Each structure stands twice: as structure tokens, then as C-alpha cells.
A and B are shown apart, each in its own frame.
Chain A
């Protein structure tokens, strides 16, 4: 086990070092090799069932981490100084002081530095595997990206180096049991996101990277405030111990709320969503990594870790409302976006809101929902981001309207994107399974369930619109498969397969990992656990026949596909244009002014409503109210 842990952390670091030194053309495959190794290890860890989950490494690296922590904070302060950014300076200097105070104060260290339980197994699995595919996709992408933007100041070595560091940080964050180590890894992700967002060194990129640094430093500060408070009430830095043994009183909940707030900043919840939207200027692999598996999931992971502590409290309910509100509000904001990556960003925030709502509901069913959503969201989003990255490089635009009828240009990618979008909203795929569990388990909370209902409808709107955009045939012309690098195509195909087939695996995932995790806290999460009967999730108030649905879906797909092939035997006809003179070569007509018009429709972005600054203002205000509610949630 030790060796596994060691490789998980050191291989990416080593590879990072190598990539940094060796010229990129030679070191191209080093990151991939490193990640293949970590992926294999994560699969191995995932497959372990009975093992010593809590352990120490042979040497104690606590001091090393303390030193690095200070260096990191000093680095942030330096950046803040260089850019004359007062908030960054303020947040980081306060953090530095708090950390100093804490380090001096802490006299004990956890019995075990490392704790790997079921959720860490799940997290490790998807973080490493998804990162691997993102890396594979990134190689051709970054080469093109460099050529395309003719960037001189940055190198791809740098980029891959930071990416690898990021993965190592994530792995460390997942397995650590030390509260302050957790903070260190937390800050590592902050550092990496800052560097990655600013990678292109354009003005916008630099501004957005500073924004990300600002907000994430605030998150770090929240984390430190929370952990200082916790330490005073329950003097331990052993996360497991805190979760299992700490006395839950209102002051404790207040400081816990600060920690949760840190998680919410990392997960870009309202009103801290701005940094994730700004992160969209980064090259697409960065966005994919930040959104799908690593950065934002770190926040979720933090909340999940501490969730047993605040079960059945008002605090928990307010957290759920907070998440529910984010789910609804950002889904609404997503309607007004015509930038594909922004839609994805809002969708990520929205889905994270849903996950946080599930954590807030804090019942076995909802925790299951949260885990299932986290797992499938990671795969689904990674797929969609990689698709958009591929498309973006081909058509040189991120605008959704430019992607209309993309099927004619790059059929394979378009189809994959469409299926990715459909998997986000329709049964029997994983996201819907999670949403179904979320709504069923939230049904006791009327306000929340209405929010989820509204949000889910809006989600359907923008995804369906997205999916509908891509299809479209050419008249009297054969559509050719687009040519793209194998390194681009393979991750897409594999992730597509994962998105489609993994839901069928979810019963096992539940049985093997989630169910035991919930059972560990069976004193808190008692009733209504899902049971698996004949491949269907069942509890006392609902059932989701996954396997029957899956087989029906496959059957339906093949029936429809058969008729699609049958339809293809006939030539295409021209659509209805009110009988206007038809352009014989394409879907178009001649208008009364004698001009050729290729019909162009566009989505409704409801800009008068959505882009209305009043609405944005109200959303921010409301979310602040929710945050206040939730900070005070512990006080009775």
C-alpha cells in the first residue's frame, strides 16, 4: 500500500520535473506514461476491498509540507505585490499569520497521515483516469494552440509541468488525513489554477488568473479560519477523528461552516462563481481539468468528508438551499450564453450546486445521489470539454451559433457532443440517475424541491438546445468523416464509451463503494438506504429500474438506428420555406431582393431577461443572503 501511495504522489512530481527540463518534443509522452501509471495504481486501489485504510508513510513529511506551505503563501503575496492587488495581499497575509499561529499552536499530529476510504477510492479513480485522457487530448491540442495563437512567451513544457503538479496535488488532497496537509494541497490547486489560467499571458488571461487567485485565496483564508476555530473546540488535526468524535455544538458548526465555505469557493458556488467563468480563457485542457475532475471536485470532496458532522442540523438544510439556489440561478444564467464554454461553465456550477444540495439534505439517499452525480459529472463534463476543444480548434470559434449544423463538418465529434449533452439530461444515464435520487430525497423540503424542479427544467432547456444545434445534413453531398489526430479521437471515444456504459456499472459502484461508506456512518445515516434488486435501485419510496431501462434504451436506439439507415436510402428533400424559390444546391432560397439566403436560425438567449444586470444583482444578493443564513445555521 505504501508504495502505491508513494507512486501516486511522486510519479506525477517526477514527471513534472522531467517535462520541465527536457525539451517538449522529446518529453511529449512522459506525462502520459506517468498518468498511465497513476491510473493503474488508482484502479488497483479501487479494486482493494479489505485493506488497511489508515496508514503512515515510512517518513514523516509534515515539516516539509509546513515549509512548502509558507513558501506557497509567500509566493502568492509576491504575486499580489507585483500586481498591486490589495485583496490578494490581504487574504494571503492574514492566511500567513493564521497559519503561523496555528503551526505554533498545534502540538499533536494525527495518528495516521493517510486515510483512504471508499470515497477516496472513487475520487482517485476518476481523477487519475480522466486526467489521463485530458492529457492525451492535450498533446495535439497544445501544439495547435501554440501555433494558432503564435505564443512566444509560454512553453508547453510549463503547461504540462503544472498540469502534472495539479494531478499530484489532487491525489495528495484526496488521501491526506491531516487538516493542514489538506490545506496545503488545497493551496496547490489554487496555485496551479492560477498558473494555468494565466498560461496564455494575454491581458484577459492575466486578469482572470488574478481573479481566480483572489477568490481562491479567500477560500484558503476561510479554510484557515475554520480550522483554527475547530482546533480550539476540538484540539485535533486528524480529519477522521474530527468527523467521528468531535462534539457538535453551534460554535463548532459555525467554524465548520467556514470550512464548507472554503469548499464552496473552490466549487465556484454563488456568489463566488466568477473565477470559474474567467477560467474559460485558458486552453481547453485546463478548463476540462478544472471542471470535470480536479479543482471543483476538491470542494465537493471537502464537503463530503465533513458531511456526517452536520447531518440533521439547520445548517445542513441551509447548505442544501444554498446549493439548490445555485443550481437554479446558474442554470438560468446559462440560457443567456452563446459561448459554448461559458454554457459548460455555468452548467458545471449548476451541477455542483445540485451536488451540494444533495450533501445538504444529508440522508443516505442524497449522499448516494451526491456521489453518483460527482462520479458521472466528472466523466460527462470531461467529454464535453474535450469535444468543445476539438471543435473550437477546427472552426476557430467558441460561439454556439457558429456550431450550427456541425455534423456536416465534423460528424464524429458532433455526434459525440450530442450524445454527451443527451447523457446530461436523459435517463438511463448517470446524471439523471443522480438527479432522480436528488429530487426524491429532497421531496421533504418543499422549497428545495421546487428549486430543483425549476432548475432541472432549465437544465433540460439549455442542453436540449445544445444538442439540437449540431445535427443537420447537407443536400446532395456525402458527409465525410473528419480527419483528426488519433490522440484527439481516442480520448473522445473512450470517454463517450465511459459516459454510456458506466451508468450500467453504477449498481456495483453503489454496492461496493457507496453503500459501505454510508454504512460507516450508520448511526447518522439510518433510513432509506437504496437496495439493489434485479439491477434497480429501490428504497421505501421509489425505485429506478436501471437495467430494464438500459436494455430498453439500447433496444430503442437500435430500432431508431435501423430506421435511420432505412431513411438514408432516399434522397434528401428541401425543407419548407413558404414555397419560396429554392436554391438547388443547398438548403436555401432566394429572397425577394434576389439575394441567396441560407436560412439561419438562432437560439433564444432571452437577453432582455437574463443579461439584465438587475437579475444578476438579485442573484448575487440572494446568494449572499443564503450564505449568511448558512453561516448562522449553527446557531439555534
Chain B
């Protein structure tokens, strides 16, 4: 039993699959997120795959501000990700709305709608920062498993 638990733990540590949702960002953070997955930064070294399907994801990476139309979608996607999951807010907009915080159709950061585990500041954050965030989220995932949250 303990052995199996350890296997599962290794699995969760080494294979974080990522769902990226562009929630109204200016594309800056999106292309940096994509860049993380391309050869120069190659997040697949850590087992990261961009799955594009909430049902397969472990890490929910959100970029951009939340507006009135996409808040529901953000929430839906969040609900569709199976436990254990970690939510990453990438970029200033996702953290707080950034420069758009006062814009008429902007509600604010991602954490107004769903609980965020890790914040990655920057406008846009460098790929290295996103990679750091992913590595940090792996630790969080491991903690969640250890605390029996599955």
C-alpha cells in the first residue's frame, strides 16, 4: 500500500499536465506560456504537457483579466479539472487586473473568481518565471496528495 502511494506520489511530482486558459489577456503572457513549452525552455523536461482539456489537467494556468463574459467560463473550466489541482495566475493582469484594473469591463484578477495557488507577476513574466511557477506548483501538488486531498 505504501509502495503504491509512493508510486502515485512520484507520478504526481513528475507529470504535471497543464491547461492554459487565456482569460482576456493581451497575448503577451500567452505567447510566453507557449514559449515555455517550446524547445528553448522545454517544460516537457519536467513532464509538462499542454493538454488543452480540463479533464486531463493538473495545473490550471490562467493569464489575463477576468471580464463579465469569461468569468463563467473560467469557473466552468476550474470545476472540470479533477483533483488534485493547482491554479497558477500568470501576469499582472491575472493577478489584479494590472493596467486594466479600472477598465469598464474588467472585474479584476483571477482570484476574484477562483482560488489561486500561485501568483506569477510580470508583464509579461519571463518564461523562466513561468517555469519557476510550474516547479513550485509541483510541490504544491505533492503537498495536496500527501495531505490526502485526493
Is A bound to B? yes
* Residues of A that sit less than 8 Å from B by CB: 573-574, 576, 579-582
Answer yes or no: B114 CB below 8 A from chain A CBs. no
Selected from A576, A580, A582, the residue in CB contact (under 8 A) with B55 is A576
* Interchain CB contact under 8 A, A581 and B53: no
Question: Is A581 in contact with B72, judged by CB distance below 8 angstroms?
Answer: yes
Q: Is B38 close to A, CB under 8 A?
A: no
Cβ of B76 within 8 Å of any chain A Cβ, yes or no, is yes
| A574/B72 contact (C-beta < 8 A), A579-B21, A579-B54 known | no
How far does the Cβ of A217 sit from chain B's closest Cβ, in whole Å?
Answer: 60
Chain B proximity of A145: nearest CB distance (Å)? 45
In the complex, per-residue mask of B41-66: 1 if CB is within 8 Å of any chain A CB, else 0: 00000000000011100000000000
Q: Is A576 a contact partner of B53 (Cβ separation < 8 A)?
A: yes
Q: Smallest Cβ distance from A593 to chain B, in angstroms?
A: 14
A573 to B78, CA, bound (A): 13
The answer to whether the Cβ of B80 comes within 8 Å of any Cβ in the partner chain is: yes
Give Cα A573 to B81, complex, Å: 11
Q: Is the CB of B76 within 8 A of A573?
A: no
Among A574, A579, A581: residue with most chain B CB under 10 A: A579
Q: Are A579 and B73 in contact (CB under 8 A)?
A: yes
With a cutoff of 8 Å between Cβ atoms, the chain B residues found around residue A579 in the complex are 21, 54, 73-74, 76-77, 80
Instruction: Report the separation of the CA atoms of residues A573 and B83 in the bound assembly, to the nearest whole angstrom.
Output: 13
CA distance A576 to B55 in the complex (A): 8
Q: Are B72 and A576 in contact (CB under 8 A)?
A: no
Complex formed: what's the CA distance from A576 to B21 in Å?
Answer: 14
* Residue pair A576, B54 in contact (C-beta under 8 Å): yes
Within 8 A of A (CB), among B62-93: 72-74, 76-77, 80
Check A574/B73 contact, CB under 8 A, given A579-B21, A579-B54: no
Residues in A whose Cβ lies below 8 Å from that of B77: 579
**Which residues of B lie under 8 Å from residue A574 when comparing CB positions?**
76, 80
Q: Which residue of A lies closest to B82 (CB)?
A: A573
Cα of A580 to Cα of B80 in the assembled complex, Å: 12
Residues in B with CB closer than 8 Å to A582 are 76
Kindly provide the distance from the CB of B147 to the nearest chain A CB, expressed in whole angstroms.
21
| Chain A residues positioned under 8 Å from B73 (CB to CB) | 579-581
Residue on B with the closest CB to A590? Answer: B72
Measured CA separation A180–B55 after assembly (Å): 68
Q: Which residues of B contact A576 (CB under 8 A)?
A: 53-55, 80
Q: Please tell me the number of chain B residues within 8 Å of chain A, measured between CB atoms.
A: 10
Q: Which residues of B contact A581 (CB under 8 A)?
A: 72-73, 76
In the assembled complex, the CB of B85 is this many whole angstroms from the nearest CB of chain A, namely 14
5 A-B contacts (beta carbon < 8 Å):
A574-B80, A579-B73, A579-B77, A580-B76, A582-B76
Residues of A within 8 A of B55 (CB): 576
B57 CB to closest chain A CB (Å) equals: 11
Apart from A574-B76, A576-B80, A579-B54, list 16 A-B contacts with CB within 8 A: A573-B80, A574-B80, A576-B53, A576-B54, A576-B55, A579-B21, A579-B73, A579-B74, A579-B76, A579-B77, A579-B80, A580-B73, A580-B76, A581-B72, A581-B76, A582-B76
Minimum CB distance partner of B23 in chain A: A579
Residues of A within 8 A of B76 (CB): 574, 579-582
Please measure, in the bound complex, the distance between the C-alpha atom of A182 and the C-alpha atom of B8, giving whole angstroms. 71
Most chain A beta-carbon contacts within 10 A, residue among B54, B74, B77, B80:
B80
Nearest to A578 among chain B residues (CB) is B73
Task: State the Cβ distance, A254 to closest chain B Cβ, in Å.
Answer: 64
* Cα–Cα, bound, A237→B28 (Å): 90
Taken together as a complex, chains A and B put the C-alpha atoms of A580 and B53 apart, in Å, by 13
Could you say which residues of chain B place their CB within 8 Å of the CB of A573?
A: 80
A577 nearest CB neighbor, chain B only: B76
Measured CB to CB, the closest approach of chain B to A626, in angstroms, equals 49
A573 and chain B: residue at smallest CB distance: B80
Alpha-carbon separation in the docked complex, A579 to B113 (Å): 15
Contacts of B72 in A (CB 8 A): 581
A582 to chain B, nearest CB (A): 6
Docked Cα-Cα span, A523 to B114, in Å, equals 81
A347 to chain B, nearest CB (A): 35
Q: How far is the CA of A573 from the CA of B74 in the complex (A)?
A: 16
Please, which residues of chain B bring their CB within 8 A of the CB of A580? Answer: 73, 76
Question: Whole-angstrom distance between the alpha carbons of A579 and B54 in the complex?
Answer: 9
Closest to A582 in B: B76
Expressed in whole angstroms, the Cα–Cα distance for A582 and B76 within the complex equals 7
Question: B1-24 CB contact bits vs A (8 Å, 1 = yes)?
Answer: 000000000000000000001000
A305 to chain B, nearest CB (A): 58
Question: Complex: how many Å from CA A581 to CA B77?
Answer: 10
Among A573, A574, A576, A581, max chain B CB count under 10 A is at A576
List the A residue with the shortest CB-CB distance to B53. Answer: A576
A260 shortest CB reach to chain B, Å: 56
Closest to B77 in A: A579
Q: How far is the CA of A581 from the CA of B73 in the complex (A)?
A: 6
For the complex formed, measure the closest distance between the CB of A335 and the CB atoms of chain B, giving whole angstroms.
29
CA distance A573 to B54 in the complex (A): 12
Bound CA–CA A581/B54 (angstroms): 15
Once bound together, how far apart are the Cα atoms of A576 and B54, in whole Å? Answer: 8
Bound Cα distance from A581 to B55, whole angstroms: 16
**CA–CA, A579 to B76, complex, Å?**
6
Task: Report Cα–Cα, A574/B80, bound state, in Å.
Answer: 8
A240 to B80, CA, bound (A): 70
Q: Compute how far the CA of A576 lies from the CA of B73 in the bound complex, rounded to whole angstroms.
A: 11
The distance from the CB of A470 to the nearest CB of chain B, in whole angstroms, is 23
In the bound complex, CA of A91 to CA of B44 (Å): 75
Complex alpha-carbon distance, A582 and B74, angstroms: 12
In Å, the complex CA distance between A452 and B73 comes to 49
User: B80 — which chain A residues lie within 8 A by C-beta?
Assistant: 573-574, 576, 579
User: CB-nearest residue of chain A relative to B21?
Assistant: A579
Complex Cα–Cα for A521 and B141 (A)? 73
B49 to chain A minimum Cβ distance, whole angstroms, is 17
Taking CB atoms, residues of chain A closer than 8 Å to B54 are 576, 579
**Chain A nearest CB: distance from B38 CB in Å?**
24
Minimum CB–CB distance for A602 against chain B, Å: 23
User: How close is B76's CB to chain A, nearest CB, in angstroms?
Assistant: 5
Given the complex of chains A and B, what is the CA–CA distance between A525 and B77 in angstroms?
66
CA distance A574 to B78 in the complex (A): 12
Complexed CA–CA distance, A582 and B77 (Å): 10
Q: Give A576 to B80 CA distance when docked, in angstroms.
A: 8
A-B CB proximity, top 5 nearest: A579-B73, A579-B77, A581-B72, A579-B76, A582-B76
A344 and B76 CA atoms in complex are apart in Å by 42
- Shortest CB-to-CB span from B124 to chain A, Å, is 22
Q: What is the CA–CA distance of A574 and B77 in the complex, to the nearest angstrom?
A: 11
- In Å, the complex CA distance between A573 and B76 comes to 11
A387 to B55 CA separation, bound complex (whole angstroms): 35
Q: How far is the CB of B77 from chain A (nearest CB, A)?
A: 5
Q: Which residues of A contact B21 (CB under 8 A)?
A: 579
Assembly CA distance A582 to B73 (angstroms): 9
User: Which residue of chain B is the closest to A581 with respect to CB atoms?
Assistant: B72
Q: In the complex, what residue of chain A is closest to B72 when comparing beta carbons?
A: A581
